[in-house]
Chain A
Amino acid sequence: MAAAAGPGSGPGTPGSGPAAVAAPPRGLRAWLRSAFRFATDRNDFRRNLLVNLGLFAAGVWVARNLTDIDLMAPQPVP
């Protein structure tokens, strides 16, 4: 059995000719794919921690900037 070459590594593979549309380098594509997988994996502890840290920072910003409301102030007359 021939040793399996990596996918897309031979001369006959699609997208390898000079006329092909310039695609992002495989490294970048793989990085983007793994970043998307990381961002959407709800079971990943580090991902959940980063998301909740961002939410905590956003919550602190809202608390400091958007909550000074006078609930008993009269409604503005149009």
Chain B
Amino acid sequence: MGNATGRAPRRGEPRGNPGSFDELHRLCKEVFPPQMEGVKLIVTKTLSSHFQVTHTVHMSTLGPSGYRFNATFVGDRQLSPTEVFPTLVGDMDSAGSLNAQALHLLGERLRVKAVFQSHQAKFVTWQFDGEYRGDDCTATLTLGNPDVLGGSVIVVAHFLQSVTARLVLGGELVYHRRPGEEGAILTLAGKYTAPKWVTTLNVGYGGAHASYYHRANEQVQVGVELEANTRLQETTFAFGYQLNLPRANVVFRGLLDSNWSVGGVLEKKLPPLPVTLALGAFLNHWRNRFHCGFSVTVG
């Protein structure tokens, strides 16, 4: 796949912002099919240019069935098609469990986020993020479940630096503290971006995570992933691919992994209706387990 034509020297290319640490493996992750089981109906209604609600009914074969209500409010400040500030998101299920997020932009480069999760009238997660996006670097500080009275907290710090136009290096430091116990874990990360492929590696005391994303052409994308967890003494390999057929309004995602699982999800849009049909099936040969799912998304 060499580039036959001459290309401009890379030294003049601007380095650009490397994005956030959590999105290092995003391209590879998006190739893999989402787990589907049972029957799901998702209805999204846009009430205005700022407000949208979603109703989700899920009839599950593996767990409890239920209903979820989601409301999303977005403000006026739009940085990109996917980033609008402020953003308020609330999600509640039929058991009363709440998941709420608030994102806001303070100035040109500073973003803040607050996340709250409750389960059966009890808060299980409260988290506050601050992210600084420079011209060629990103720094993030996260406070997870800070408890001043109980003396416990989880602090996560991320830093990513664009070393060249294609190479990003960085790291993550996780510090946790509880009464009588504290510890820290350091993870180093690197990402190399080429015109047709991206490879990312995270290495730390807890293990390693490597991913390779390849865009073969407009129709075929492939992702390969390796995860090793030294604490659980487990390693996993996964191979995923995505086939896009815009003329048929079809997207197919397939998966094969080292746990002897194979699976696939087929999504088909039904124009001119704003309806998307999804069929998925997953089979674990080693454990002789099979589950399939079907979903309809309206809006």
Residues of A that sit less than 8 Å from B by CB: 45, 48-49, 51-53, 55-56, 59-60, 62-64, 67-72
Contact = CB atoms under 8 A, between A and B. Distances in A.
A53 B219 contact: no
A52 B228 contact: yes
Nearest to A55: B237
A65 to B, nearest CB: 9
Q: Give the size category of B's interface with A.
A: 20 to 34
B1 interface: yes
Interface of B: 1, 197, 210, 212, 214, 216-217, 219-220, 222-226, 228, 230, 233-237, 239, 241, 243, 245, 247, 258
Contacts of B228: 49, 52
Main secondary structure of the interface of B (DSSP, over half): strand
Contact of B212 (A53, A59, A68, A70): A59
A52 B258 contact: yes
B210 to A, nearest CB: 7
Given A52-B228, A59-B224, A63-B214, A71 B237 contact: no
Contact of B224 (A48, A49, A56, A71): A56
A37 to B, nearest CB: 18
Given A55-B237, A72-B247, A63 B217 contact: no
6 contacts: A49-B235, A56-B226, A60-B214, A60-B224, A69-B216, A71-B245
